[in-house]
Amino acid sequence: MKNSALRGTGTILSAALASLALMLAGCALDSPAPSPPPGSSAAPGSSEPTLSASSTPAAAVHFTAQADIGVRKESRQVLDTIADLRPQFNLALGDFSYRAGIEDRFCDMVKEKLGSDFPYELLTGNHESDRSDGDIAKFVQCLPNRLPGIQGDYGTQWYVDVPQQDPLVRFVMVSPGIDFQNEQHLDFSSGSERWNWTANAIDGARTANIPWTVVGMHAPCLSVGQYDCKVGQDFASMLLAKKVDLVLTGHDHIYQRTHQLGTGPACPALVPDAVVPGCITDPDATMVKGAGTVFTTVGVGGESFYDVNDNDPEAGYFATWSGGNKNPAFGTLDVTVTADKLSARFVPAKDYTFTDAFTIAR
């Protein structure tokens, strides 16, 4: 059993440049929004944000994602890898500085590598949610949201449609299963306000005819690493039942990707610590949209490695994995989405060789 352990001429010129940036990046669909999450406020830094220049075609969304980052040589190597890939934005899925009091140092490292205005979008991990190794509120101040149209509480529970006009993807970022202050968890139990907010955000994407839905959260449910299903079986099963296309996590300092999984007559719910063959809807790397969900953990942003267990009771759900004792590699997931295809690949940082790639097509 495993351990339980995000002014004149000058004013006119600035406005023109901002408008041009928004046109290039794509601008949020005025679809019905779920109610704000409990305790939420206006997202800091969300006023008139723009996306950085990218080589991505206008009809595509290009982003990177990883977690468990740190302030190390390896952390900088991963940031260099992201810079070389030139995504439109990056999803940082929690666990940033691994030390309290150096939030500004972490933010300066990111800005130095990616640019001061690059959309480095945050979702809290356990190390800053409970303020033991940093404070998510301070990270949010020095790395504010830069994606237009964000809804919710940036850093903890938010969603955004990209591009803002005629969106291709809705990103729903939530924080189940991790400790906040005083060892309290946010309530994502079935029927709770946060559960309903998440479900409504996912359903809203379908109602608005947004082709793809990606959910990000720090903790995984399935893993061949150290952790059990911290987000809860019911929550993970809900993501499957709603046919979320891709779920991105960190927390376990490994890379791992499941087969495409889905609920149905042969799989009423996702079962951790065991494998139900009927939950596997597609076992190869070329998948069909709507058949299920792919869970990908990218906890290799630079901090350290955990070992993987080839004999883990959940191993049968996974297509591939990498950890400290097997093909270790720091790096990032690199994802490009068009109206018809989601293409993802793991890109290792300098000096590492492990790779992975998969597609989901309409």
Rounded average pLDDT per 10-residue block, the chain, 362 residues: 44 42 43 62 47 64 98 98 98 98 98 98 97 96 98 98 97 96 89 98 98 98 96 96 98 98 94 94 97 98 98 97 98 98 98 98 96
Query: Which residues are CB-neighbours of 144 under 8 A, at least 6 positions away?
Result: 44, 45, 46, 154
Is CATH 3.60.21.10 the classification given to domain 9-361?
A: yes
Q: What is the DSSP pairing of strand 246-249 with strand 294-298? A: parallel
Please compute, for residue 203, the number of CA atoms within 13 A of its CA located in the half-sphere on the CB side: 11
Both structure tokens of 273:
């610590």
What is the model's pLDDT at position 183? 77
Residues 159, 145 contacting (CB under 8 angstroms): no
Instruction: Report the candidate in 361, 132, 152, 130 with the shortest Cα–Cα distance to residue 260.
Output: 361
pLDDT the model gives residue 81: 98
Q: What is the pLDDT of residue 36?
A: 73
User: What phi, psi does 228 have (nearest 5°)?
Assistant: -90, -165
How is the chain split into domains, by residue range? 9-361
What is the Cα–Cα distance from 301 to 207, expressed in whole angstroms?
34
Which residues contact residue 242 at a Cβ distance below 8 angstroms, ignoring those fewer than 6 apart?
199, 202, 203, 213
Name every residue whose Cβ is closer than 8 Å to that of residue 11 and which is 6 or more positions away in sequence. Answer: none
pLDDT at 34: 67
Find, among 78, 214, 47, 70, the residue nearest to 144 by Cα.
47
pTM reported for the whole predicted model: 0.89
pLDDT at 141: 98
